Amino acid sequence: MMTLSLYDAVIPSNRQILGAVAGLIDKAAAFAQAQGRDEAALIDARLASDMLPFGYQVKSCANHSAGAWAGVQAGSFSPSRSMWPTDFAGLRALVEEADAHLAAIDRAAFDATAEQPTDFVMGEMRLPFTAGQFLLSFSQPNFYFHATTAYAILRKEGVKLGKADFLGRLRLRPAG
């Protein structure tokens, strides 16, 4: 019987999709260059007028992965209100930094936080979670929402992407 730890349920998938988001950024940069499109126009592209742009979606992937772990460690998570990078190199660096933070996490330390109180705080609103509840029922769904939205924005803008671009590097069982 396989036992799945909190670390196993969160970190490998976050890292897989962060790698895919880095690939989306690379494809967007190549598309902008090939089409003579301004980087800022793609970074500011939205699915709908009342939704936040591609740059925000990428920033939120970093925020709901590495930022979520920082929130667990602090006992409180608040969404970042900082501006996102305005060029593809900056967005890629943000994703790479988030992935590096996740790569450095100690599995045992991560798993040991599962029952630790972790609050989501936004203005006057405070939602009480355990770290496990917060990561699995709040941050992870948000992470996938923002990664999917980033993908969809680029598709809408004409960037040639397929499902494999969203999935990134799959974690296959070793041969043999």
Tens of pLDDT along 32-44? 999 999 999 999 9
Q: What is the pLDDT of residue 11?
A: 98
Residue indicated by tokens 């305005």: 86
Q: What is the pLDDT of residue 175?
A: 87
Please state whether the predicted TM-score (pTM) of the whole model is above 0.85: yes
Percentage of the chain beyond pLDDT 90 is 94
Using CA atoms of 160, 25, 69, 97 in order, give the dihedral in degrees to the nearest 10. 150
More confident residue, 45 or 79: 45
Confidence of residue 24 (pLDDT cuts 50, 70, 90): very high
Confidence of residue 1 (pLDDT cuts 50, 70, 90): low
Q: What is the pLDDT of residue 21?
A: 98
Q: What are phi and psi for residue 126, nearest 5 degrees? A: -135, 120
Tens of pLDDT along 68-125? 999 999 999 999 899 999 999 999 999 999 999 999 999 999 999 999 999 999 999 9
In this model, does residue 26 exceed pLDDT 90?
yes
Q: Supply the DSSP string of 17-75, one letter for each residue.
A: HHHHHHHHHHHHHHHHHHHT--HHHHHT--SSTTS--HHHHHHHHHHTTHHHHHHHHHT
Q: Supply the DSSP string of 110-156, one letter for each residue.
A: HHHTTTSEEEEEETTEEEEEEHHHHIIIIIHHHHHHHHHHHHHHHHH
Tens of pLDDT along 131-175? 999 999 999 999 999 999 999 999 999 999 999 999 999 999 988
CA distance 95 to 20: 10
Residue indicated by tokens 């936004």: 122
Q: What is the pLDDT of residue 2?
A: 65
In this model, does residue 4 exceed pLDDT 90?
no
Continuous segment of H or E residues that includes residue 88:
helix 88-103
Q: What are phi and psi for residue 119, nearest 5 degrees? A: -100, 145
